[in-house]
Amino acid sequence: MKSIYLDNHSTTPLDPNVFLSMQPWFLEKIGNPSSRNHIYGWEAAEAVELARESIAEIINASARDIIFTSGATDSNNIALQGVMKNSTKHHIITLKTEHKAVLDIFKEFKKLGHDVTFLSVKKNGLIDLEKLQNAIKSNTYLISIMHINNEIGVEQPISHIGKICRENNIIFHVDAAQSLGKVHIDVSKLEVDLLSISSHKIYGPKGIGALFIKGNSKKIDLKPIKFGGGHEKNLNPGTLAVPNIVGFGEACKIAQQLIDSEKNRISKLRDALLAGILNKNPKIKVNGCLNHRVSGNLNITIPNNSNEELIARMPEISISTGSACTSNNLEPSHVLKAIGLSSKEAHSSLRFGIGRFNNQNDIEIAINCLNRSIRK
């Protein structure tokens, strides 16, 4: 029996058209884009630059401000560690609800002697802008905020945060792995200095991502944290993975065409899922703000039910208890704890991630599976 995939925040299936775009670059077009002496290298270099332009276009950036990485975690490390190499003991700010790919870096910065503020969020998961303003010090150097949370799906007011950063001459980094292709991103309007994105969250291949680095900014002087070649502005040495880069570019083109229609369609599926669950289980609680939330996310707490046991009783659907990057950790979700849930409540929570290839039938099956599996 095939399980219905509803874990699209962890990763997304490869779009068939993306796969087709990648195929020639595995077997026929075999060149290294750094090879400047023959046609194979030339056509590979051209393909890389065309993909770079497609990726830049979806966030309204210049292609020259995009470098390729292995994914959003890699982008976060290159951005944050590269920025902090210029810093002596400065003050930096992030949220308690950030992805581990940012939180763990900030914890390392703290060990190195930097003054780190892990800012609390409101009960609905959104940042308190007044708290952020009050947390800023005269030596605040960097703020890193996730655009859309990977567990509860809330969308932070990035443009407002960007304005605060600009007014205080603070470098602003955004992890946009969960927002790319799902909401409109305009890096100039958001006033972002550094933005991390990933291919496998938008129906592209795994193992490729990108980092936007704002050009013509006197604030930003990224120092390399890897060495071994001059690739990607000396920030990410190594031979570029041309098939993956081509796939990422194609995934961005498709996402840009579908962003509005898919947002509306998936929102309706999410609302139908929630209504169907609440109809039989009115005590279920939604985690995170519903009004400022990515369309495909639903994170719920089911009182007096273990999430692991619920999942075991529902092999027909593939969902998660939270972030795939911490799924081996039996500790309760740090995101749910940060918005006020107890450990017991966090261990009774499930995350549904609805995506491009889900339909109404999938939702009806999920509703029936969950309603059948809940212990009253």
The domains located in the chain, with CATH, are: 4-11+259-373 (3.90.1150.10), 16-253 (3.40.640.10)
φ and ψ of 209, to 5 deg: -150, -170
Q: Would you state the pLDDT for residue 71?
A: 97
In angstroms, the Cα distances linking 67 to 59, 89, 197 are 14, 28, 11
Amino acid at residue number 69: T
Structure tokens at 340: 């006020």
Mean pLDDT for back-to-back runs of 10 residues, the chain (376 residues) = 94 98 96 95 97 98 98 98 86 98 97 96 98 97 97 98 97 98 97 98 98 86 88 93 98 98 98 97 96 97 97 97 63 96 97 98 98 92
Question: Whose CA is closest to 235, among 196, 190, 203, 181?
Answer: 196
Q: Would you state the pLDDT for residue 329?
A: 60
Global pTM value? 0.96
252 is catalytic: no
Contact between 322 and 307 (Cβ < 8 Å): no
> How far apart are the C-alpha atoms of 257 and 253, rounded to whole Å?
7
